[in-house]
Amino acid sequence: MRFGGSNKRTINLGGVKARTQAEDKDAMLKRLERERQQRLLDKKRLDSALSIQAFFRSKRTLAVERQIERVDWCDKMKKLSLLPVHLASAVPIFFPLLRQFLYFYRPYNVEDQDHLVRMLGLVLASSRNADGATNFCHPAFTTEGKIQASNWLHQAIRLAKACLPKLSEGPTDEMGQTLPLRVLFLLLNPGDFAGSATPDAKSVVCAKILSRLIIQGNLQYHVHQAILKYTKSTIDERTKFIVGRLVTLGMLPFFNSFLPPHVVRVASEDFTLQQLTIPHLIPTFLPASYLSSVMVPALGHILLLPPNKFEYTEVSPAVGRDRKGKSRLEDKELPQADPREVEQAKALLENLGQIAGLVVAQQKLDISTAYMHVISKLLAFLSFTCKSGKQTTDEVFSDDEDDEMKEPMEDDIMEQTLGPIQVLLEPGLLRSFFSLCLPQTTTRTHTDRKKPFVEIFPSGLVHLVQMCDTVQKNNENIRKTVINTLTFSTPCVRVLWDLLSNSIEFTEFVESGLSSKMSVIISVVSLFCVCYSNLLVSLDDDEFFKHKPFTIDEVKSISLALKRIVFRMYWVKGNRDELPVYQDPILRKSITSVLHQLYDRNSRHQYCLGHHWETDEIMRNSNQFMLEVQVQEKRALRILKHIPFVVPCDMRVRIFQTLVEQDKELYEEYRGWSGSTHISIRRAHVLEDGFSSLNNRTPEEIKGSIKVSFINSEGLEEAGVDGGGVFKEFVTELSKKAFTAELGLFRETQDRLLYPNPLSEYVAADHLAQFEFIGRVLGKAMYENILIDVPFANFFLAKLLRKHNYYNDLVFLDPDLHKHMLVLKNYSPERVEDDLALNFVIAEDRFGEIVDKELVPGGKDIYVTAQNRLKYIFAIANYRLNTQIARQSRAFLKGFTDLIKPEWLRMFNQHELHLLINGRDGGLDLVDMRQHTNYAGGYHEGHPVIDMFWRVVESFSPEEQRRLLKFATSCSRPPLLGFRQLQPPFAIHQASDDTSRLPTAATCMNLLKLAPYTSFSQMKEKLLYAINSAAGFELS
């Protein structure tokens, strides 16, 4: 025991030693783990080294043994060469040597290649031995002809594998066939297989060898390499024969019914990718006789592609913004395709195109479906690869303006690619394919009970549609043939709509813009729209309303569905996130084209009443839409540019007038009194003085204020100050002089509608300058909101809108010619050429001199037939409606657009432009007119004479009301937006108290001067007399 503080034991309660011991334990465990891993690694390295050493020792030993066997074999072969061939090739002598050879044979050994040739010669010699016991193929079977279990099959498979690499080395005998090729046919073709066994037994043996070569020996690859060697050599009959044999070798799996299905499929896919991707294989090396005898029976097998071959990934079609706010449609670079795969696809497409006739001749739906599947897949892949590596663009979401004076044409991005398959797209073949792929039954009863796409749409027709859609999108020249064939030679338009309207997926697409079968729906809708648009161009109004090919109710359904689809595509904001909407520029364009055609026809002959063309989104939010237009919101401008008919016409007129007012603000300096243009006009020479005074003015001056002083017949300036009314009178009088057939610049149709005179150059040397001037006059009238009563022809108004005229518009120019063209269109096909004897020439009367004009180059030598009569009809229409008046229209349009910008008029069609120029047709809205009428000279709203006046006007017929309006304002039609738009406002002024005096008017002020007539009958009589005689202009 210890005593005292110095010897007292110290106890540490902090636990430091325990923590140190714990840390030492963790470090020790980690160290032990590392040592254990190192030991395992060292053992693995040692085992690997031993395995490598053993492998190389075995290889070296095996090589030595093989060399020993090789030397021994060579000695035996020297002795064997002393024997006659029939003895040397006898199985008991020859087969042990074959086993020995296959043991030491190595394809990379040069000496072994020579030895292989000797062996193959013996094999062929043995197969020719008449004695079954000495025949090479005899050991494969028992004496009863059944397959026996022996190593013969194993040796045969090894021999066949040894033959494959030798195929590409060229012919080795005088017959021009390689020995390996002959031996392979001996082993793989039951017809060449020697022996007395049954055909089925031979087929079973060949199937076993084929299976091993297909799965393990890469049969089709070696055949491919051999064909390539011969296709690069001189093309002669010998070469074609060898290539034919090689192709037949690759097709042997398709004629052996004992091969397992999965092996046949592998062989089919390999054959298509290896042999049919050799450029110019068909028909350069494989003649028609070979195709019909060998390839036709195998059509069901050569039309298979691996599932992942020629696939591509589309960029996302959804519109919106990424996290950085960048548009997902902009700067989108498509991925690059493998160049080798592209070349394969081109060659395969070329070869398959050459057998289109054989496929149709089979009249088998499954073969036609498989064929169309491969073709459509290749075309889609090549179309994608032509765009790969490029920036995707979408003109709807850019600010670029397209030239609508030209007919729309797609870029020929696959000109060379599509060339080789033109034979497939010939009208006869295309018609046959379409007929073969048609569904057995189609329903025209469109009920609410829709079906899935796959139940009503045959897969063959899907692939055919996709093929045609790809072609028409990528090659303008082939496109015309394809679309014309589908439109006029098949029920394509009718069938596609019947199937679409009854499918669930199309209904989804209409409702939401997306669908579970998006790619197929896009192709079908796009092709339907292109074909229907093509058909509408050729249908006159009588045919259209006779339900060709749709009833009016069906047309309404079509237009509603297409309107919903395309509106969603355009109504996308460009600067904020949106719900995903599928965007396909070509689909959008084709739908837009169809809707414009249907809307224009509806404008001529209304068949859709009410608000059919307008959209609820804009109708419900009209103020918001107007605001978006004013602030230049892109989606609102897209709507007005591409599908303006979804916006009510009155709203578009207000937008037009707003745009004009905004433009006027830019030229304010020209619109004040100091900046005004002052001109003097002789009343007897309004047109001449107007031309000399204004023709050389700048557009800015014309847009400004123009003050007119009239000079009377005595040469004195008329009293008064032009506050706008005199200029209106000047424009009205000038329009009467300029827009008339008497001057010679214009002609009249049978309906007394005006269009440029094609022979105006014979009327005036400066005719184009005059057209430009009167174009300015019309533009100025619209710019100042002055209505003029000028009945322009519909096809000429199209030129002001930069549109192309078509066959349908011919009826407005020359109804008789249109009737003749309709007769030609429906004439018996067999008698067109003999009975009519027409060529592509049109006779033009130049003041008594008949001049023949060729409609196409060399037209005098091209006769109209049943096949080209539509082309002739369209050429006639194009010449009369576009070519003849092209120079005059361009000059007129140049002057017109000095004041009215083309983009302002994009939102109107011809009928609406006519209303914009002339005002609204029909009777007057007397309630609106009375609300916006001013009174002067003692008259007021409650005056008895005024009350009597309105009662008299109410009693007038609509025609008499229009005459009254023309009498007072110079225009028989009220403004589109009502009388509140009439400037100056309509006014009634009390004339003298002489009630025997007729009413007079000052049209420059829209002023009616009315005496205080005492009775209803007197006022009506005086008014009718005045308006029917157009008497009494008097300057106020």
Active site residues: 1004
Q: What is d(CA 811, CA 823) in angstroms, rounded to the nearest whole number? A: 13
Question: Going along 455-589, which residue ranges are E strands?
Answer: none
Asked whether 531 and 486 are in contact (CB, 8 A), the reply is yes
Q: What is d(CA 515, CA 1019) in angstroms, rounded to the nearest whole number? A: 68
Lookup: tokens for 588: 């959008």
DSSP 793-854: -HHHHHHHTT----GGGHHHH-HHHHHHHHHHHTS-GGGIIIII--BSEEEEEETTEEEEEE
Asked whether 550 and 558 are in contact (CB, 8 A), the reply is yes
Q: Long-range contacts of range 931-936, CB-CB < 8 Å, 24 or more positions apart?
A: 931/979, 932/978, 932/979, 932/980, 932/982, 932/985, 932/986, 933/979, 933/985, 933/986, 933/987, 933/988, 934/985, 934/986, 934/987, 934/988, 935/987, 935/988, 935/989, 936/987, 936/988, 936/989, 936/990
Q: What is d(CA 296, CA 302) in angstroms, rounded to the nearest whole number? A: 10
Q: What is d(CA 376, CA 520) in angstroms, rounded to the nearest whole number? A: 11
* Terminal C-alpha separation, the chain: 146
Q: What is d(CA 1003, CA 566) in angstroms, rounded to the nearest whole number? A: 46
DSSP 141-167: B-TTS-B--STHHHHHHHHHHHHHHHG
Asked whether 968 and 1008 are in contact (CB, 8 A), the reply is yes
Asked whether 694 and 932 are in contact (CB, 8 A), the reply is no
Residue 311 identity = E
- Would you say the C-alpha torsion 505, 616, 329, 468 has a positive or negative sign? positive
| Measured CA distances, 778 to 688, 695, 707, 985 (Å) | 16, 13, 17, 21
* Rg from Cα positions in the chain: 44
3-state helix, strand, coil in the chain (%, to 5): 60, 5, 35
Residue with token string 């057939």 = 741
Lookup: tokens for 468: 């045609």
| Measured CA distances, 347 to 269, 297, 350, 464 (Å) | 15, 22, 5, 20
Q: What is d(CA 211, CA 263) in angstroms, rounded to the nearest whole number? A: 6
- Beta-carbon count within 10 A of 37 CB: 10
Q: What is d(CA 900, CA 378) in angstroms, rounded to the nearest whole number? A: 49
- Kindly report whether the peptide bond that precedes residue 165 is cis, defined as omega within 30 degrees of 0: no
| Helical (H) or strand (E) element with 756 | strand 754-756
Residue with token string 């407005």 = 812
Distance of CA 483 to the CA centre of its chain: 11
| Measured CA distances, 682 to 686, 716, 773 (Å) | 6, 9, 18
Distance of CA 364 to the CA centre of its chain: 30
Q: What is d(CA 257, CA 269) in angstroms, rounded to the nearest whole number? A: 17
DSSP state of 1009: E
Q: What is d(CA 793, CA 756) in angstroms, rounded to the nearest whole number? A: 9
Asked whether 743 and 708 are in contact (CB, 8 A), the reply is no
DSSP state of 786: -
Lookup: tokens for 170: 């060229």
Burial class (CB in 10 A: 0-12, 13-18, 19+), 73: buried
Q: What is d(CA 18, CA 937) in angstroms, rounded to the nearest whole number? A: 121
